[in-house]
Structures are given as structure tokens and as C-alpha cells.
């Protein structure tokens, strides 16, 4: 049985490239808990290409993470 994940909303405060893995650090609004969002390097590259930015440009952006998918929020989404 699949485990349901709570959707976490917060701000990205760091992105770290560890070779094959990229970690996105999301600071949760609700409890200031740090949520690590791991990516394989290639899908992360596709992500930032799709956003038209560099990895460092993600810092400060608002996002939601549900345990599987990260979604970037626009100001009008909040």
C-alpha cells in the first residue's frame, strides 16, 4: 500500500549538486522544517531548462512538494 504524503509549501533556500544527485532544500512554512527534495542530475537539468533558469535562481522561489512532485508557485497561486 502506498503511503500518502502531506503536501508541504515553503521557500527554496538552497540547492546542492552532489554529482549524480541534486538536493533542493525547502523550508516549510508551517513548522520551519527542512524538507529535502532529491533529484537525479538529468531530470534536475530538465527542470531548470524548463524553468529557463540556473539552479541558483531557484533559491527564494516558493514551491509545493507532495513527496513525489515539486511545483513552483507564482505569486497569484498563494
Three-state SS letters, the chain: CCCCCCCEEEEEEEEEEECCEEEEEEEECCCCCEEEEEEEHHHHHHHHHHHCCCHHHHCCCEEEECCCCEEECCHHHC
Encode pLDDT of 12-64 as tens digits. Answer: 999 999 999 999 999 999 899 999 999 999 999 999 999 999 999 999 999 99
Encode pLDDT of 7-18 as tens digits. Answer: 999 999 999 999
Amino acid at each position: 500500500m502506498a503511503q500518502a504524503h502531506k503536501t508541504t509549501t515553503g521557500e527554496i533556500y538552497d540547492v546542492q549538486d552532489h554529482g549524480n544527485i541534486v538536493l533542493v532544500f525547502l523550508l516549510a512554512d508551517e513548522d520551519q522544517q527542512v524538507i529535502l527534495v532529491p533529484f537525479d542530475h538529468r531530470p534536475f537539468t530538465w527542470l531548470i531548462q524548463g524553468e529557463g533558469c540556473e539552479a541558483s535562481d531557484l533559491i527564494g522561489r516558493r514551491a509545493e512538494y507532495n513527496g513525489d512532485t515539486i511545483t513552483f508557485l507564482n505569486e497569484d497561486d498563494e
